[in-house]
Copies of this chain bind each other. A is one copy, B any other.
């Protein structure tokens, strides 16, 4: 049986492809992405992760039982204790210090996606929040896998190799799988067909806001 994510993905496939196969991703993958585009993206993605940590804290708050609270806490730790440090390391390699990052203004596209996720979660229930988070968590995993499949011989010389390896790696893939399984369990409790159109709309809007986020990176190099 397809996962709930697979259902949402299939039902918004055009919007999803725009996001997953965006020119930013393709050029990151073949190494032709201008460095300024990547640097801009990377710095905004750090600000994005701060807000995504808050969204996971919100998931702990919204959780209906102790088991869901532990799932949310695991996600929160994964971002705040690990992923943000990896990011700081990547950014340092591009000449961006941690204090540089925190002093940056958030781009409109960063604000749009992150506040949409947080507010969707606050207004609705845990399932609404997870559906808003899914395009980011599960889309990055798909991009990681697609890139791995396209280059089975191993790492190319792409300057963006570290980034791609992070998302195709086992650690991230298993975080993503765990999230999808958790969303399935939530859907078992909270999904009705009557509310499906609203959830699909949330998923589709979030995917579009991710597309806008890539485009922000590209625009910086024009």
Contacts and interface: CB of A to CB of B under 8 A. Distances in A.
A212 interface: yes
A141 interface: no
Nearest to A112: B112
A73 B77 CA distance: 8
A195 B115 CA distance: 21
Residues of A contacting B: mostly = helix
Interface stretch (A37-45, A57-65, A148-156): A57-65
B70 A73 contact: no
A111 B66 contact: no
B50 A66 contact: yes
Most chain B CB atoms below 10 A, which of A62, A66, A73, A111: A111
A96 interface: no
Interface stretch (A23-31, A171-179, A184-192): A184-192
Interface residues of A, number: 47
A136 interface: no
Contacts of A105: 205
16 contacts: A54-B123, A57-B58, A57-B61, A57-B76, A60-B60, A62-B124, A66-B102, A69-B80, A70-B80, A76-B76, A106-B205, A108-B109, A112-B115, A118-B122, A189-B194, A190-B192
Contacts of A111: 112, 116, 205, 209
Contacts of A76: 57, 60, 73, 76
Given A54-B123, A62-B123, 16 more contacts: A54-B60, A57-B58, A61-B61, A61-B123, A64-B198, A66-B102, A73-B76, A105-B205, A108-B109, A108-B212, A112-B112, A112-B115, A115-B118, A118-B122, A189-B192, A189-B195
